């Protein structure tokens, strides 16, 4: 095979798949030199050679040997190469004979200006592979389309100012079984160009990105095309780039796109909660919505678990083609108050505001109340003010008003506290009695090692809590939820530290602490990690030698992320101290509804380590004191059973629903909903 470019390599692979031994002879210093620099070429060479194809770079073919048939090729300054077949794929060269003999300006090809006019000729135009524009000769079809559009504008006079300024070519293809993508510059050209390179030849992976003035101006990706769609968009549209450049090359945890907005099929479902396709989002943009939140409101996309928000944003930006309007509200802590979190907290402190209604009156435009802002403000102010906070219950979401999690039929789920997932026969007996007495339709074990009583009508909540006589497990709030533990040292033959005791202590200390989003914790007794500490907001692992590792920012829900190691410490007291300090820093600095898996990578684990472990900013004492104030302010909300906070707090809101929605079999197992099941349900009517 003569020629080690795109076509040559592809043809070599094709021949090889027909059982032919193949050598590639390439005159360039490295393979695919039109698309990539020498380092990428070297990695590609390894991958190609690993397929069993011989590679001879820097080898110029001077003759094809053989009289009656091919017997080999002669190379300049190298030994002859024997073969039975020669395929030539050495690129294209414009046939410019006609142009030259006509006296047109020809260098490598016919020289044209930005109007596609041949140099020094008023009335002769040229487009395509035969032209040279600003020194470039293109061999791809895409630039030709762009040139043709300008030519049409010029010759018809439709738009005399129409100009061709050159094409930015991006190619993505599989060459000889290796994914290759290349766009723009192969490498840096100016001193100020940023060049980011990752090379892992053993896996055939090579990535190079050139950035100029905060824009991607070139990229080469070999062997791993996962970020190609994103980079192509960034290259084509000059998208703003993440500060952490590594995320241009890899998905480094946290929310990430799975496929590029442009590549996604029109009917592909983007929001898997509310069933919104890419096409619906595009329609909304075409229909006039110019902001991401406007499209989200109109389509309901991203209004479920929220894990698709980034993708929705990318599709909207793609569909609007650069006309997306900036949303200043993106930086607001809550949509109805035009302040980011630090400014909002400062204003609340400076003006001595103590309730959500006072915040609206003082800080919202026109003093305008905003239902969508209430919950976030209530949580923030409780965190900031603890006992000084004036608790207006209308600012809370219904879950936080009735201390239970609302279900699809308007009933609630009741999860009593079960610290560290440790229970007792007495507790279990009480729970069983309650489940029977109130005909609880479903009793279920939660992921956080508690017991969930589902389908409890609101009006039964106080009685259920009274009979349980256990504190709330907070399985409904944006708050500290639970600490999962493993069997632990007492019984497990592998246990290295008393993890169960520590888990129970952590839960006792931080129970009910409100936060920008829920916090799920775990403590494992050894590195086998049976409590899954690596995927928790805070996860603790006992390791040999009586030491403890603390991980933060892990997740295994809508997103998967392994937590970052915050510190390895010597005793459980330090674990508790740093856990509290981390949670307080998160409470004070995270955006509303921003889980730790997004917060930790956003601020960076090094920064967190310096603030929380090394106390580099001298904030430690202050954070500890603020957390302590919240801890001391804790009251079990289920105590309100005896003394409701508001009139009708536990009055039913949906009187005429068929209950239970999950019909119950005689054996206590839920059964599929049928007409018979519906008839078996109680009909409850309010009075």
Partner 1 sequence: MSTHAATGGHLLGPVDQVPVGEGRAFVVDGDQVAVFRLRDGSLRALSAVCSHRGGPIADGTLDRQEVICPLHQHAFSLDSGCSSTGAGPLRTYHASLDDSGNIVIAFPPG
As a whole number of angstroms, the distance between CA 651 and CA 686 comes to: 9
The partner residues of 117 in beta bridges, in order of sequence, read 125
State in angstroms the smallest separation of the CB of 593 from partner 1.
13
Q: Are 430 and 468 in contact (CB under 8 A)?
A: yes
State in angstroms the smallest separation of the CB of 48 from partner 1.
54
The partner residues of 552 in beta bridges, in order of sequence, read 538, 564
Q: Which residues bind partner 1 (CB under 8 A)?
A: 297-300, 303, 357, 368-372, 374-375, 392-399, 401, 406, 408-410, 646-648, 651-657, 685-687
Q: Which is nearer to partner 1, 360 or 480 (CB)?
A: 360
As a whole number of angstroms, the distance between CA 212 and CA 193 comes to: 5
State in angstroms the smallest separation of the CB of 440 from partner 1.
20
State in angstroms the smallest separation of the CB of 375 from partner 1.
7
As a whole number of angstroms, the distance between CA 317 and CA 328 comes to: 16
Which two three-digit tokens encode residue 343?
A: 């400014």
Alpha helix stretches (DSSP H) within 109-199: 141-156
Q: Which is nearer to partner 1, 167 or 355 (CB)?
A: 355
Which residues, other chains included, contact 237 with Cβ-Cβ below 8 Å and sequence gap of 6+? 317, 321, 322
Q: Which is nearer to partner 1, 104 or 270 (CB)?
A: 270
State in angstroms the smallest separation of the CB of 439 from partner 1.
21
Q: Are 136 and 168 in contact (CB under 8 A)?
A: no
State in angstroms the smallest separation of the CB of 295 from partner 1.
12
State in angstroms the smallest separation of the CB of 359 from partner 1.
13
| Residue-wise DSSP of 295-356 | HHHHH-TT-SS-TTHHHHHHHHHHHHTT-PPP-GGGG-SSTTS---HHHHHHHHHHTT--SH
State in angstroms the smallest separation of the CB of 91 from partner 1.
55
| Residue that the structure tokens 């400076």 belong to | 350
State in angstroms the smallest separation of the CB of 118 from partner 1.
57
Q: Tell me the three state secondary structure of residue 123.
A: coil
DSSP letter (8 states) at residue 562: P
Which residues, other chains included, contact 540 with Cβ-Cβ below 8 Å and sequence gap of 6+? 499, 502, 503, 506, 521, 522, 523, 524, 533, 548, 549, 550, 551, 575, 579
Q: Are 382 and 348 in contact (CB under 8 A)?
A: no
Q: Which is nearer to partner 1, 407 or 589 (CB)?
A: 407
Q: What are phi and psi of 195, to 5 degrees?
A: -125, 120
As a whole number of angstroms, the distance between CA 478 and CA 519 comes to: 8
Output the CA torsion sign for 205, 211, 214, 217: negative
Q: Which is nearer to partner 1, 643 or 667 (CB)?
A: 643
State in angstroms the smallest separation of the CB of 663 from partner 1.
17
Q: Is 81 left (phi over 0), alpha (psi -120 to 50) or beta?
A: beta
Q: Which is nearer to partner 1, 491 or 645 (CB)?
A: 645
State in angstroms the smallest separation of the CB of 356 from partner 1.
9
As a whole number of angstroms, the distance between CA 600 and CA 618 comes to: 20
Peptide bond into 471 cis (omega under 30): no
| Residue that the structure tokens 């030519």 belong to | 151
Q: Which is nearer to partner 1, 133 or 458 (CB)?
A: 458
Q: Are 398 and 405 in contact (CB under 8 A)?
A: no
Q: Which is nearer to partner 1, 245 or 678 (CB)?
A: 678
Q: Which is nearer to partner 1, 249 or 395 (CB)?
A: 395
As a whole number of angstroms, the distance between CA 6 and CA 172 comes to: 11
Q: Which is nearer to partner 1, 546 or 655 (CB)?
A: 655
Q: Which is nearer to partner 1, 69 or 687 (CB)?
A: 687
Q: Which is nearer to partner 1, 357 or 628 (CB)?
A: 357
State in angstroms the smallest separation of the CB of 458 from partner 1.
8
């Amino acid at each position: 095979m003569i020629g080690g470019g795109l076509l040559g390599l592809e043809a070599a692979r094709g021949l090889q798949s027909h059982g032919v031994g193949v050598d590639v002879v390439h005159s360039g210093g490295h393979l695919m030199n039109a698309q990539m620099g020498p380092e990428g070429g070297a990695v590609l060479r390894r991958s190609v050679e690993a397929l069993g194809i011989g590679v001879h770079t820097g080898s110029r073919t001077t003759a094809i040997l053989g009289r009656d048939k091919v017997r080999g090729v002669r190379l300049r300054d190298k030994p002859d190469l024997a073969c039975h077949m020669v395929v030539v794929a050495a690129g294209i060269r414009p046939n410019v004979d006609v142009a030259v003999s006509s006296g047109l300006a020809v260098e490598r090809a016919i020289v044209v200006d930005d109007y596609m006019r041949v140099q020094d000729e008023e009335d002769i135009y040229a487009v395509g592979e035969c032209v040279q524009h600003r020194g470039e000769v293109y061999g791809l079809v895409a630039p030709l389309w762009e040139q043709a559009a300008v030519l049409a504008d010029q010759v018809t006079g439709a738009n005399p100012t129409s100009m061709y300024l050159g094409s930015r070519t991006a190619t993505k293809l599989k060459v000889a079984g290796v994914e290759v993508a290349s766009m723009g510059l192969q490498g840096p050209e100016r001193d100020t160009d940023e060049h980011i390179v990752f090379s892992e030849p053993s896996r055939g992976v090579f990535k190079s990105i050139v950035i100029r003035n905060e824009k991607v101006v070139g990229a080469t990706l070999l062997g791993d095309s996962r970020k190609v769609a994103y980079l192509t968009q960034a290259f084509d549209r000059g998208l703003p780039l993440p500060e952490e450049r590594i995320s241009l090359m890899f998905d480094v945890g946290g929310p990430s796109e799975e496929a590029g907005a442009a590549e996604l099929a029109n009917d592909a479902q983007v929001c898997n909660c509310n069933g919104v396709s890419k096409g619906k989002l595009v329609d909304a943009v075409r229909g006039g919505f110019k902001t991401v939140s406007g499209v989200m409101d109109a389509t309901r996309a991203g209004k479920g678990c929220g894990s698709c928000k980034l993708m929705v944003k990318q599709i909207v930006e793609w569909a609007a083609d650069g006309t997306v309007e900036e949303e200043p509200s993106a930086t607001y802590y809550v949509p109805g108050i035009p302040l980011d979190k630090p400014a909002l907290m400062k204003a609340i402190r400076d003006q001595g505001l103590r309730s959500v209604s006072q915040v609206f009156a003082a800080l919202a435009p026109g003093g305008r109340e905003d239902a969508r802002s209430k919950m976030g403000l209530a949580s923030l102010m409780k965190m900031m003010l603890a006992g000084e906070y004036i608790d207006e219950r209308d600012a809370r979401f219904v879950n936080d008003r009735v201390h239970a999690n609302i279900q699809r039929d308007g009933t609630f789920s009741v999860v009593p506290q079960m610290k560290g997932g440790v229970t007792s026969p007495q507790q279990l007996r009480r729970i069983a009695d309650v489940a029977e007495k109130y005909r609880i339709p479903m009793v279920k074990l939660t992921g956080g090692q508690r017991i969930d009583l589902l389908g409890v009508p609101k009006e039964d909540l106080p009685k259920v809590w009274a009979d349980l006589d256990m504190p709330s497990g907070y399985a409904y709030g944006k708050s500290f939820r639970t600490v999962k533990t493993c069997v632990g040292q007492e019984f497990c033959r592998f246990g290295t530290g008393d993890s169960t005791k520590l888990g129970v202590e952590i839960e006792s200390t931080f129970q009910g602490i409100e936060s920008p989003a829920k916090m799920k914790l775990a403590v494992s007794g050894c590195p086998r990690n049976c409590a899954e500490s690596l995927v928790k907001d805070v996860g603790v692992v006992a390791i040999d030698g009586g030491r403890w590792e603390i991980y933060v920012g892990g997740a295994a829900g809508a997103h998967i992320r392994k937590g970052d190691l915050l510190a390895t410490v010597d005793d459980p007291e330090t674990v508790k101290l740093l856990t509290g300090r981390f949670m307080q820093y998160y409470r004070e600095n995270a955006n509303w509804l921003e889980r730790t898996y997004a917060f930790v990578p956003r601020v960076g684990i090094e920064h967190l380590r310096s603030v929380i472990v090394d106390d580099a900013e001298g904030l430690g004492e202050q954070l500890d004191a603020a957390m302590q104030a919240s801890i001391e302010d804790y009251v079990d909300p289920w105590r309100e059973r005896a003394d409701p906070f508001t009139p009708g707090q536990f009055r039913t809101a949906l009187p005429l629903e068929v209950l239970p929605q999950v019909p119950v079999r005689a054996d206590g197992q839920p059964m599929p909903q049928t007409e018979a099941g519906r008839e078996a349900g109680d009909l409850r009517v309010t009075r």
